[in-house]
Amino acid sequence: MRPVPFPGIVASQGISAAALVSQVQQALVARGYGPFTTGVFDAAMTSSVMLFQSQHDDADRQPLVVDGEVGRHTWAALFGGLPVTPASAPSSFMLQALGVAGSQVGQVEEPRGSNRGTMVDEYLKAVGVPLQDPNADTRAWCMAFVYWAFNTASVAIGRGNPLPKTAGVLKHWTKAANVPGSRLITAGEAFADPTLIKPGIVFILDFGSGLGHTGIVERVMPGGRLATVEGNTNNDGSRTGVGVFRLERRKLNDPKLVGFVDYTNA
């Protein structure tokens, strides 16, 4: 079956888009699910979608979320995943920063869990975080790592660094709106059009209570999962991990995702 592009609309019970619902129903029937009332997303169809989700993985071989909704990942499982090509190219500055970040993969805290270490201290110093504060929680360094990567890149290519100088993830999101030439892309916009996401773009997560996490995107994979380089994380994607990792865990439908900051024209 030839892959079909995701329409940018999450189909769920009660949706009035009959043609879209019929398209999903046909794909489900072809796999042995149904029968359905043509074009109607009712409780019976929700149950069938949930059954399909419980028996299938997404494009990255991860279990689908069993929620009865046909979003990007369930759509890709039904219709195939397509490669995502950015609609526009990133700047050389963003690519340089991504390369700098990638060169740090494998750096870890010394000792682990301390939010300290030879390179971790360099990341923290870049944004002015006091290293001697005994409270390790005040030295969370994922945002400092991103700033350091872009700052190092700016020095290498002889230009200014437009990123706000802050260790706060959510502060970065707020301050970036005032950076000339920057573009804030909300999670909803990215979900509807993943081609907005390009290498070197910064993602922002909000865990509540003022806590966030960030990193730099390498690419969007066919199923809508993000390949990223992140500091202060683990292989399990924790926001309070012990090192710099290359991950493939973030999703465009992550409820914690606030959005992305694009510095192409900054």
Coil, strand or helix at 250: strand
Mean pLDDT, residues 139-154 taken together: 96
Closest-CA residue to 252 (of 27, 53, 60) = 60
Closest-CA residue to 49 (of 26, 38, 35, 33) = 33
Question: What's the pLDDT score for residue 238?
Answer: 75
Question: What's the pLDDT score for residue 1?
Answer: 56
CA–CA dist 35, 54 (Å, integer): 18
For the cut 90, the answer to whether the pLDDT of residue 162 exceeds it is yes
Q: What is the pLDDT of residues 48-103, one digit of tens each?
A: 999 999 999 887 677 899 999 999 889 989 988 766 789 999 999 999 999 999 99
Gyration radius (Cα) of the chain, Å: 21
Residue 239: which H helix or E strand, with range? none
For the cut 90, the answer to whether the pLDDT of residue 23 exceeds it is yes
Q: What are the structure tokens assigned to 148, written together?
A: 């350091």
Q: What is the pLDDT of residues 183-227, one digit of tens each?
A: 999 999 998 889 999 999 999 999 999 999 999 999 988 767 899
Question: What's the pLDDT score for residue 122?
Answer: 97
Mean pLDDT, residues 160-184 taken together: 97
Question: What's the pLDDT score for residue 82?
Answer: 67
The burial class, CB within 10 Å (0-12 / 13-18 / 19+), for 252 is: buried
Domains delineated in the chain: 18-79 (no CATH), 92-262 (3.90.1720)
Q: Are 235 and 245 in contact (CB under 8 A)?
A: yes
Q: What is the pLDDT of residues 100-136, one digit of tens each?
A: 999 999 999 999 989 999 999 999 999 999 888 777 7
For 227, phi then psi, to 5°, come to -95, 125
